[in-house]
Structure 1
Amino acid sequence: MPETGRLKQYTGWIDLDFVERERTPRKIIEMGIRHHLAGLSLSNTVILLEDLGVKRSRTAVHNWVHKADLQPEGGASPDRVAVDQKVIRINGEQYWLYTAVDPQTNRILHSRLFPTYTIAIGREFLSELTEKHAVTDALFLIDDAGDLIGSLRKEGLSYRVELHGHRNQVERVFREVERRTSSFSNSFSHVDPATAESWLQAHAFWWNQWLS
């Protein structure tokens, strides 16, 4: 269940320009987005809104989340970056969620979903990460995954294989992602990969706001 007291502190952190034609008040839309990303299922979010006198469908709440186009902000300059991958199932097929975390703050720096894991995919993820954040001089903390090691070498980035310590921070983030997708048996059904990635990035955005 979401931490209601903390959620009430958040105001105005979601850009709601997309709701110009929505008949739902902006405060209600923001509340629906926040509570869904914080842990409520779509069905329970709908029940919450009904308790407030606003009747909306699960599809409406789902669309609010994706129209908001939320994703982690750029501009960080951490000394260390923990990077890992996790398998996400979409319609029975495996995809790989790449995530970079600042282990000092637990903030998610970048998150992307890919259909496979290769050195080329790792380099694409790292290239996007370095465009968003000042991490070219950071020490990357990874497990012994060969594709990550190869992609870091190709990009000329410093790394250290670390199975514990600071890497526990990225494992904590992945455990939270797993918790949030547990109702789907750690998988998404009846959605395309782009929609699943949009939700995962929105959750990463919420995670960072929750830490503020």
Structure 2
Amino acid sequence: MKIPCTMPGLKGYRFPREIVAYAVWAYHRFALSTADVEDRLAERGVMVSRETVRNWVNRFGRHCADCIKRDRPGTSDKWHLDEVVVPINGEKFWLWRAVDANGNVLDILVQKQRNAKAASRFLKRLIDRFDAPRAVITDKLRSYIRPIRNLAPNADHRAHKGLNNRIEGSHRPARKREKLMGRFKLPGQAQRFLAAHDQINTIFRPRRYRLTAKSYHHARADAFDLWSAYTLEMTA
């Protein structure tokens, strides 16, 4: 089986842009390693090393994530914030994540600390991009209290673990990939991968249980149309 290639060539790259985009999509959409993607491409007649796949993922995963964030419709003004521990090279780091009321991942940030300073840094990133929210849902971590009071004084802060199930579920795909990758080796690697992974999964994993079969098929077709447009925008 061959991958059809009809788009203009990608300057500086030996392989067509459709093949590069397919590798990035397969890596982030499914729980695959770079070796798995290498084998899927080989079955399609494309001989490429896993190191090349890794370079493609690092280079163009960010491009696609930036395009998704750029084209996303207006976000909800109700945010859910949470943090989970991520072991990196034998040390404990914290993955801070924010999603809106629609389940869209707004941003992630890997940090060493889980204190008010770290919470303030993450919240400031969010407000700089999306403006202050109407409501913020967090768990009972007290480190959120002062940053929210200082940076979003008009926001309704609800600290209740039971209200934050939406974001708890958003951690699962990252946990699955973390296990597959045998833990992250560097904080920068974790930040780079998760920032792209969360955004790409946003468009290719709609909440299927809420959709009819016909609506799901339309959502999937729309996602592939967007991906084709992002593929055309790729540059070396």
For normalisation by structure 2, the TM-score amounts to 0.74
Q: 8 Å contact 1:65–1:202 — kept in the other structure?
A: no
What is aligned with 2:180? 183
Relative to its length, the structure with more helix (as a share) is 2
What is aligned with 1:142? 138
SS at match of 2:202: helix
Q: 8 Å contact 1:152–1:158 — kept in the other structure?
A: no
What is the aligned counterpart of 2:53 among 45, 58, 61? 61
Aligned mates of 2:140, 2:93 — CA distance in 1? 19
Which has the greater radius of gyration?
Answer: 2
Aligned mates of 2:139, 2:184 — CA distance in 1? 26
What is aligned with 1:97? 95
Q: 8 Å contact 1:76–1:133 — kept in the other structure?
A: no
Question: Structure 1 vs Structure 2: percent identity of aligned residues?
Answer: 24
Gaps of 5+ in 1: 1-11
For normalisation by structure 1, the TM-score amounts to 0.82
Q: CA offsets per residue over residues 109-165 of structure 1, 9 Å max, x none?
A: 11111121221111111111012213x142000000111223212322431012224
SS at match of 1:64: helix
Structure 2 matches for 1:22-33, cutoff 5 A? 22-33=13-24
What is aligned with 1:208? 202
What is aligned with 1:8? none
1:151 counterpart = 2:147: yes
Shift of the alpha carbon at 1:89? 1.6
SS at match of 1:97: strand
Q: 8 Å contact 1:29–1:64 — kept in the other structure?
A: yes
**CA RMSD between the two structures:** 2.2
Amino acid at match of 1:78: S
What is aligned with 2:36? 44
Gaps of 5+ in 2: 1-6, 207-218, 220-236
Q: How many residues align?
A: 191
